[in-house]
Amino acid sequence: MTKKTILIAGATKGLGRAMTEGFNQLGHRVLGCGRSESEIIKLQQIYPNSDFQVVDIADADRVEAWGDRLFSQGDIPDYLINNAALMNRPVPFWEISDREFSQLIDVNIKGVANTIRAFLPAMMAKKAGIIVNFSSGWGRSTSPEVVPYCTSKSGTHR
């Protein structure tokens, strides 16, 4: 099996953490990010042959700087997995503050765009790579208490 370089946005929890662990066990190099410094430190200790950084993908400048750092090391992803996402509190839509709604949209939609803008040019220059944007079943339907999340996942559905 050919070892791959796999970038996972949202590598510290849930599905992202499970993929991080699984890909590392298969011998792949994982380039992962998350917002939790303590979880990033744990991943760095567990998987020293991979590379983990604290990056909020909602911040385009931070994502670009992360990409530049990885490129300077020769790390261009074979797979870019946009997994990072926020879920809103399960309450009626009108109870979600503008700030909470904006933060969710910034991570779940703009974060996907930020990682693609930062990494796709290098992948294209390499003439290789696959981008996977995770959505949700709620991207095709809705639930009255998670309208912001459903809206954001609809934005990454296709």
Active-site annotation, residues = 149
| φ/ψ bin of 108: left (φ > 0), alpha (ψ from -120 to 50), beta (otherwise) | alpha
| CA atoms of 58 and 41, how far apart (whole Å) | 21
User: Which of 147, 119, 148, 143 has the alpha carbon at shortest distance from 133?
Assistant: 119
38 alpha carbon, distance to own chain's centre: 17
Question: What burial letters (b/e) apply to 41-67, b meaning 16+ CB within 10 Å?
Answer: eebeeebeebbbbbbbbbbbebbeebb
Placement of tokens 């992360």 in the chain: 66
Placement of tokens 């490129």 in the chain: 71
